[in-house]
A and B are shown apart, each in its own frame.
Chain A
């Protein structure tokens, strides 16, 4: 078994309104930053033991499907690294 950290990034699907990101963008503009867009995402770092990177990735994907993301509004991606 090898120790991995699976990083799951959950973001809203394209086209789904993100009011918190819009509010944050407006606040940045008020601070004088010129920006063309802003998207927010949630990142989860899951430490786990697995036989190989493929198994670690598959388990993290199942976590995303079942809880970390809501497939109705979210896309997600998973990256796995040894720790």
Chain B
């Protein structure tokens, strides 16, 4: 009964994710990508970092590593999968989730706190929040601008697969509150199953009260609920 936090060469949020899960009482272990997923994997985190040095495109190399085939198979079996930051880029590159996260509109790496609007609270990742609730999480990325052609994005919105959008403190989707130029302020999306989600902001960095904000706890709690059910 373990959440596998997949470590690639260049992952750097793997320990943060493991510690955050541990503090929430959720058993987690870091898994080196070459070792494959443990047999008792009940959830998967693809953490942030700079896997393979972001060569070619952020996430492109890791997306084709053998463990991602196992991750896709587990996802298809209903195992919850969360991709955070570089993990979100890997998720999109590997086809787990639609769209692409590419160069920020500013063409710069950005490290700051942002507000997010919870677009729907009836998913495992957002059950701890209310519909339309505004939460605060940190971002730290250079390639976080969500891109998808207009027709597909409209489909995605109709299907309710946009999980979080960048907003201001009042929940308004203004251009100023969009840190990276993401289309329609999209910060996180669902895969074909609700049990698969990716987002650029870092919930695992907002879980420990001694470090400030704890708004990220709710996202990670999905793994506890999955283990209990």
Interface majority SS on B: helix, strand, loop or mixed?
A: loop
Contact status B100-A17, CB under 8 Å: no
Determine the residue in chain A with the shortest Cβ distance to B148.
A72
In the complex, what residue of chain A is closest to B145 when comparing beta carbons? A17
Q: Are A72 and B100 in contact (CB under 8 A)?
A: yes
Closest B residue to A15 using CB positions: B149
Number of residue pairs across A and B with beta carbons under 8 Å?
A: 38
Interface range, B side: 20 to 34
Taking a contact as CB atoms under 8 Å apart, the answer to whether B100 and A22 are in contact is no
Given A16-B147, A17-B145, A19-B107, are A73 and B60 neighbors across the interface (CB < 8 Å)?
no
In the bound assembly, the distance between CA atoms of A13 and B152 in angstroms comes to: 15
Contact A19 B104 (CB under 8 A): yes
Tell me the B residues contacting A by CB distance below 8 Å: 56-57, 60, 64, 92-93, 98-100, 102-107, 145, 147-149, 181
Which residues of the other chain, A, contact B106 by a CB distance below 8 angstroms?
Answer: 19
Chain A residues within an 8 Å CB radius of B93: 70
The answer to whether A68 has its CB under 8 Å from any CB of chain B is yes
Answer whether A73 and B104 are a contact pair too, CB < 8 Å, given A17-B145, A68-B56: no
Residues of B within 8 A of A19 (CB): 103-107, 145, 181
A17-70 contacts to B, CB under 8 A, are 17-20, 22-23, 66-68, 70
Q: Which residues of B contact A17 (CB under 8 A)?
A: 105, 145, 147, 181
